[in-house]
Amino acid sequence: MKEEMDQSKKTLDRVDRIERAVEAVEKLIVQQNVNSLRVCLHQYRDLIPTELHERSSTFLVNLVHRQSVDSEKFISEWTLLKNLKIESEKTSLSQLQTRVEQYNKSKTDRRKSNRNGSHHLILNMDDDDDDED
Sequential DSSP letters for 17-72:
HHHHHHHHHHHHHHHT-HHHHHHHHHHTTTTS-HHHHHHHHHHHHHHHTT----HH
Domain positions in the chain: 2-132
Could you give the CA distance from residue 95 to residue 103 in angstroms, rounded to a whole number?
A: 12
Q: Is the Cβ–Cβ distance between 83 and 15 less than 8 Å?
A: no
User: Does the predicted TM-score (pTM) go above 0.75?
Assistant: no
Check: CB of residue 85 under 8 Å from CB of residue 48. no
CB 51 within 8 A of CB 111: no
**Model pLDDT, residue 133:** 47
Rounded CA Rg of the chain? 27
How does pLDDT run across 79-98, given as a tens digit for each residue?
A: 777 777 778 877 877 777 77
For the ranges 7-16, 23-32, 69-78, 105-114, the maximum mean pLDDT occurs at 23-32
In percent, the amount of the chain with pLDDT more than 90 equals 0
For residue range 10-41, list pLDDT tens digits in order.
777 877 888 888 888 888 888 887 888 888 88
